[in-house]
Amino acid sequence: MQSPIQLEISRRNLLISSAATIAVTGAATGEAVAQGARTSMQHMSKVSLSVNGESYNLDVDNRTTLLDALREHLHLTGTKKGCDHGQCGACTVIVDGRRINSCLTLAVMHDGDEVITIEGLGQPGALHPLQAAFVKHDGFQCGYCTPGQICSSVAVLEEIKANIPSHVTGDLTTQAAVTPAEIRERMSGNICRCGAYSNIIDAIVEVAGTKA
């Protein structure tokens, strides 16, 4: 049987050990919080973009897509988030002259690049020819896919003009032509769930100035 003195010493040791444990745990927690804050700061990057002719300097999380940078940081909501998996084309924008799915690329990958969105092609009262043609030929119904469709259409005509072949180009030794088959193939990455495809082709053909 322990004496009262031994019990007192045991209780004192227990209290001392508990206090030491709490102090060590608190210090470790504080260090973890500080480390987390430092790590969080390391996830941010500065990105410079030229969007529709204007320069922007952004502080973005490294995981931010170009689509979210345009919509959430610059409030250019014309570019739509559809599937967010690169399958529908609603988020198509033109970067350094090439069309891309902005949901599949990170903003930090485009530091210094020139980006054109649907807002940069034209505005009410000063529409881009393809925007006007889409209106004339009813190339949309709900309109959700339309910004991506038009950006992609602009790039398609530039690709054909530059004689860049597609999978349906029959003769690689001659200038690529604007034909329904070429347009369908090149626009196949832009989905219109309303089914306005024939009208979209009519709009593109008119702007191209052909009788395809």
CATH number at residue 211: 1.10.150.120
Q: Are residues 117 and 129 in the same domain?
A: no
Q: Taking 80 as the threshold, does the pLDDT of residue 36 lie above it?
A: no
List the CATH number of the domain containing 94. Answer: 3.10.20.30
Which strands, in side-by-side order, build the sheet including 98-101?
Answer: 54-61, 44-51, 114-116, 92-95, 98-101
The mean predicted confidence, pLDDT, of the chain is: 88
Q: Are residues 154 and 133 in the same domain?
A: yes
Among 102, 95, 93, which residue's Cα sits nearest to residue 67?
Answer: 102
Q: Taking 80 as the threshold, does the pLDDT of residue 210 lie above it?
A: no
> What is the mean predicted confidence (pLDDT) over 96-109?
97
Residue predicted with more confidence, 38 or 69 = 69
Q: Distance between CA atoms of 50 and 40, rounded to whole angstroms?
A: 27
pTM: 0.79
Q: Taking 70 as the threshold, does the pLDDT of residue 25 lie above it?
A: no
Q: What is the pLDDT of residues 107-125, one digit of tens each?
A: 999 999 999 999 999 999 9
Structure tokens, 58: 């952004």
Q: Are residues 138 and 202 in the same domain?
A: yes
Full residue range of the structural domain in which residue 131 is found: 122-212
- Count structural domains, the chain: 3
Q: What is the CA angle 72-74-151, rounded to 5?
A: 95
Q: What is the pLDDT of residues 129-188, one digit of tens each?
A: 999 999 999 999 999 999 999 999 999 999 999 999 999 998 998 999 999 999 999 999
Q: How confident is the model at residue 212 (pLDDT cuts 50, 70, 90)?
A: very low
Q: Are residues 63 and 132 in the same domain?
A: no
> Are β-strands 44-51 and 54-61 bridged in parallel, bridged antiparallel, or unpaired?
antiparallel
Query: HSE (CB half, 13 Å, CA atoms) of 114?
Result: 6
Q: Are residues 114 and 134 in the same domain?
A: no
Helix or strand run (H / E) with residue 181? helix 180-186
Position 68 scores a pLDDT of: 98
Which of 102, 121, 140 is where one domain is finished?
A: 121
Which of 121, 147, 182 is where one domain is finished?
A: 121
Q: Are residues 38 and 57 in the same domain?
A: no
Q: Are residues 178 and 108 in the same domain?
A: no
- Whether 80 and 148 have beta carbons less than 8 Å apart is answered as yes
Q: Taking 70 as the threshold, does the pLDDT of residue 4 lie above it?
A: no
Helix/strand/coil for 14: helix
